[in-house]
Chains A and B, each alone.
Chain A
């Protein structure tokens, strides 16, 4: 019965994460995964980044963002395995996907709140 109660919440978080992945993740990925490493834009001062990332408002937003993205990713990949790639080990894949997301969420909280 607990599964029934938690399922709508997971779908809600999946949708929220989908919106975040579509609206916010692209700029973060382009900026930090390509533009800064490849020198398309000059690297921001370390002190400036710490000031921005160490702001409690940024930390609050980033915590929510990472948790939503992780749930979105885990939930969707779980069904990709089941429907797409025909991996029918329902319980095992669910445990692995949500387990990985939970670990990621803990790491995200620790990392985000350690800055500043």
Chain B
């Protein structure tokens, strides 16, 4: 079989920095890296809790250091970008219906924020009660 060779115009690595929408798109996708970091952080925390009271206290004291706090603040900013973009995209990915009528996009988005508030309040109560 003869191989068909197609010319592909090379795309520069930094194609996404010039336009705002492209930039936000790549930042949104990069949130994945920070979701990964937060999982690692939470697992380290759980590991410390499992090892005992002293390890738990030491971990929280260590997480107070400026570098860890800075990294976690950046991670939370990326996570916030994920939350907003994810909620906004849901009505486009899902056709929610009640009876035969389509639920308006604004209602789908609002209900997700409501879920976020309820889940957050429950976890906060469970941990701090």
A residues whose Cβ falls under 8 Å from a Cβ of B: 17-19, 21-34, 36-38, 41-44, 46, 48-50, 52-53, 62, 66, 69-70, 72-77, 79-80, 83-86, 100, 104, 107-108, 111-112, 114-115
Q: Given A32-B45, A46-B53, A70-B36, does the pair A22, B75 have CB atoms closer than 8 Å?
A: no
21 A–B contact pairs at CB < 8 A? Answer: A18-B82, A23-B112, A24-B123, A25-B38, A27-B120, A29-B72, A32-B45, A34-B76, A37-B60, A42-B128, A49-B49, A49-B56, A52-B127, A62-B46, A66-B39, A70-B36, A73-B32, A74-B36, A80-B29, A84-B30, A86-B12
B35 touches A84 (CB 8 A): no
A residues in contact with B64, CB < 8 Å: 37-38
B residues whose Cβ falls under 8 Å from a Cβ of A: 11-13, 15-16, 25-26, 29-33, 35-36, 38-43, 45-47, 49-50, 52-53, 56-57, 60-61, 63-64, 68-69, 72-73, 75-76, 79-80, 82-83, 86-87, 112, 115-116, 119-120, 123-124, 126-129
B38 touches A33 (CB 8 A): yes
A115 touches B15 (CB 8 A): no
Residue of A19, A26, A50, A112 with highest tally of chain B CB at under 10 A: A26
Residue of A49, A73, A74, A112 with highest tally of chain B CB at under 10 A: A73
Docked pose: A101 CA to B83 CA in angstroms:
21
A29 touches B30 (CB 8 A): no
Q: Please tell me which one of the listed residues B36, B82, B127 contacts residue A49 in the complex, with CB atoms under 8 A apart.
A: B127
Docked pose: A76 CA to B30 CA in angstroms:
8
Docked pose: A41 CA to B36 CA in angstroms:
25
Q: Please tell me which one of the listed residues A21, A46, A75, A104 contacts residue B40 in the complex, with CB atoms under 8 A apart.
A: A104
B60 touches A36 (CB 8 A): yes
